[in-house]
């Protein structure tokens, strides 16, 4: 089935992992996240290491190791996490066709892409990791 709105698996893993780790009272490891989310442990580990490298998570090695949210990231917006994984969320104010000879005087989608993007951006900006 086709979707109008699609978030990459990597961004989904990053956002859900941050939420699970933030609300956990104990360290949580990649296998536990995989068990809850159904994503590949290896893909989760790769994303978690990126979050550690950028200071959003703190990792502890060993059999009782896992991840906790850093102090820095408690008040970080979900947009910051999304941008880390995907790059800056594009401001879609232009036609994707970029066709100089477009037969229409205005966008046939009525600016919906821009509306969706702005609403998504506003939601991500308004939600903080600590609120998850």
Question: Exposed (0-12), middle (13-18) or buried (19+): which is 94, by Cβ within 10 Å?
Answer: exposed
Domain CATH number, residue 93:
1.10.10.10
Range of the domain at 33: 9-131
Residue 4 resides in a domain = no
Q: What is the pLDDT of residue 99?
A: 67
The whole-model pTM stands at 0.85
Residue 38: both structure tokens together: 């159904």
Residue 94: both structure tokens together: 């232009």
Residue 3 resides in a domain = no
Residue 108 resides in a domain = yes
Number of domains in the chain: 1
Contacts of residue 99, Cβ cutoff 8 Å, sequence gap at least 6? none
Residue 2 resides in a domain = no
Q: How far is CA 89 from CA 35, 36, 114, in A?
A: 29, 27, 12
Bridge partner list, 28: 67
Read off the pLDDT of residues 61-91 as tens digits, 9 standing for 90 and up. Answer: 988 899 999 998 888 999 999 999 999 876 6
Residue 50 resides in a domain = yes
């Amino acid at each position: 089935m086709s979707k109008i709105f699609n978030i990459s698996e990597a961004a989904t893993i990053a956002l859900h992992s941050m939420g699970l780790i933030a609300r956990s009272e104990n360290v949580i490891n990649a296998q536990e996240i995989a068990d809850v989310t159904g994503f590949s442990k290896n893909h989760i580990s790769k994303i978690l290491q990126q979050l550690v490298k950028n200071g959003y998570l703190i990792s502890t090695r060993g059999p009782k190791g896992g991840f906790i949210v850093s102090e820095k990231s408690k008040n970080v917006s979900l947009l910051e996490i999304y941008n880390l994984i995907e790059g800056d969320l594009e401001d879609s104010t232009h036609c994707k066709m970029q066709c100089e000879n477009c037969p229409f005087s205005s966008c046939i989608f009525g600016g919906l892409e821009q509306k969706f993007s702005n609403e998504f951006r506003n939601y991500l900006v308004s939600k903080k990791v600590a609120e998850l």
